[in-house]
Chain A
Amino acid sequence: MNYNDLPDKELVEKVINKDIVAFKILFDRYSKKIYNLIYYMIYNKEDSEDLTQDTFVKAYTSIKTLKKKERFGNWLYHIAINNCRNYLKKYLKFETVELDLSLPDPKEISVDSIYNDQLQKHLEMALKSLGHKYREVVILHHIKELNLNEISEILKIPVGTIKSRLARAREHLKSILKNYILEGELV
């Protein structure tokens, strides 16, 4: 039997019966997404590794409580987000975000070079400058490409609230990344 072809639901049922191979398949399916979600929430490589590990261990120990087994992914995101919130509450109570707003002159940047490390750095800084509750919505929507209903299920907040948070986050990002947007065109 090839476990890779099995849907989440069947793998979850196997994990409940202590099948570690099935859990490894689920880990391979979601570890990158979970790791990046956590990394872009807390911006600390070592702690992202620890929280990713903790997320999967928590998932394993409480997988019996998962009612909708086909929604394993969203449930895992929910655990990861809760881990991030606890972490941010605990360690970054007095976090100060330092923004390097000295962006390069867009006219000096060629179209091809827009995908370089500098853009990555500015995008990451722009994301970091968002408040936690805005950042988690942006990451889930834009990086994880989840729809509003899925985000609502993960964060346990109404879709309307998610829409308004996304709109405010975009406004903020627009003001920071304005140098990359010239007269309605992407530089």
Chain B
Amino acid sequence: MNTEKDFEKIDKLLKEIKLKEPPEKIWDNVYNKIIDINSSNSIISIFRFRPVPVFAVIIPILISLIMIMNFSNLFNNSKKVSIQTENNYIETHLTISMKNPLVDRVSIGVAMILNESGENESE
């Protein structure tokens, strides 16, 4: 048997293999995945390539941190304050800062709340 000729026959036979049609849903799935990828990339790219939104996120966080640290420093300088109500005596630590009017308001507010709670307890 002629091997070369046989190989040619094999090649001819292989060409007879029918190609199958891929289902249309493949493109639908590919399309959905591409949309997901594009949208997730756009979110990531905000942080990667644009400095302004980064500052818009980081700066408020930094300001918050500074304020928290400022408050904690003030608490280190807290003084013992006694509040006398009619029937109850409440003793607590309050922050009093003469430098920061905002903190003054807070401490006054706390004192008022304590005062009210003392009244409630006395009742």
Contact = CB atoms under 8 A, between A and B. Distances in A.
Interface of A: 18, 20, 23-24, 27, 31-32, 34-36, 39-40, 49, 52-53, 56-57, 60-61, 114-115, 119-120, 123-124, 127, 138, 142-143, 170, 173-174, 177, 180-181, 183-186
Given A35-B20, A56-B26, A181-B9, 18 more contacts: A24-B31, A31-B27, A32-B19, A35-B22, A36-B19, A36-B22, A39-B20, A53-B30, A53-B33, A56-B30, A57-B37, A60-B34, A123-B17, A143-B19, A173-B14, A177-B10, A183-B1, A186-B12
Interface residues of B, number: 30
A123 B33 contact: no
Interface in B58-94: none
Contact of A27 (B2, B11, B18, B30): B30
Nearest to B5: A184
Contacts of A60: 30, 34, 37
B29 A53 contact: yes
Contacts of B25: 49
A143 B18 CA distance: 9
A170 B12 contact: no
Contacts of B7: 170, 174
Interface of A is mostly: helix
Contacts of A174: 6-7, 10
Given A18-B38, A173-B10, A57 B33 contact: yes
Contacts of A18: 38
B54 to A, nearest CB: 23
Given A24-B27, A53-B29, A120 B34 contact: no
Main secondary structure of the interface of B (DSSP, over half): helix
A127 B17 CA distance: 10
B44 to A, nearest CB: 13
Contacts of A184: 1-2, 5-6, 9
27 contacts: A31-B22, A32-B19, A36-B20, A49-B22, A49-B25, A52-B26, A53-B26, A53-B33, A57-B34, A57-B37, A60-B30, A60-B37, A119-B16, A120-B17, A123-B16, A124-B17, A142-B15, A142-B17, A170-B7, A173-B10, A177-B10, A177-B13, A180-B9, A184-B1, A184-B2, A184-B9, A186-B13
